[in-house]
Amino acid sequence: MDEVKSRNLSVAGYFEVVQKEYLIADFKRKIYYNVKDKQYYQKVMSFKADKINNIAERNNLNSVLNDKLTRDKVHSELFDAKGNPTFRMTESDFVNYYLAGSEFSYLGKVWILKNQIDFRTFKLYCEITGETLELDSDDICRIL
């Protein structure tokens, strides 16, 4: 997500940005395996939730925390239909998202990521069928 300084935003603009930041922090909390990283993103989420709730209550607004339609709308701005992020991930995010041993969804089945072939191609194994396939990142989605 492009960095936007909150001091240059209206309250409504800040409200939109902080809701996206909340959902991104939730995503990162789920993909990182390190306990300290998970705790850090949980703290970020708590801080963002306080800001979201404060603005929503003061202004009688729906938010990602109190309204499913709002959450779905903001979520769709950050993730594609399969659930893959459309925002720019950091290198560390990418490494943790595509970590060997992670579970992915493909054709309605659970696949285990074995390794990365190149930047967009991954080798996955399905325990149910015993198949191993090389798949493009657009075709798979991390199970969170």
Parse the chain into domains and list their residue ranges: 6-88, 103-142
Q: Is 32 helix (H, G, I), strand (E, B) or coil?
A: coil
- Given a cut of 70, is residue 1 above it in pLDDT? no
In Å, how far are 24, 27, 51 from 79, measured between CA atoms?
10, 10, 23
Please give the helix or strand (H or E) that residue 70 lies within, else none: helix 68-78
The pTM for the full model equals 0.89
b/e per residue 46-59 (b: at least 16 CB within 10 A)? eebbebbeebbeee
pLDDT, residue 5, reads: 58
Please give the helix or strand (H or E) that residue 135 lies within, else none: strand 132-136
Q: pLDDT for 132-144, tens place per residue?
A: 999 999 999 999 9
Q: pLDDT for 81-110, tens place per residue?
A: 999 999 999 999 999 999 999 999 999 999
Q: What is the number of other CB atoms lying within 10 angstroms of the CB of residue 135?
A: 18
Q: What is the number of other CB atoms lying within 10 angstroms of the CB of residue 109?
A: 13
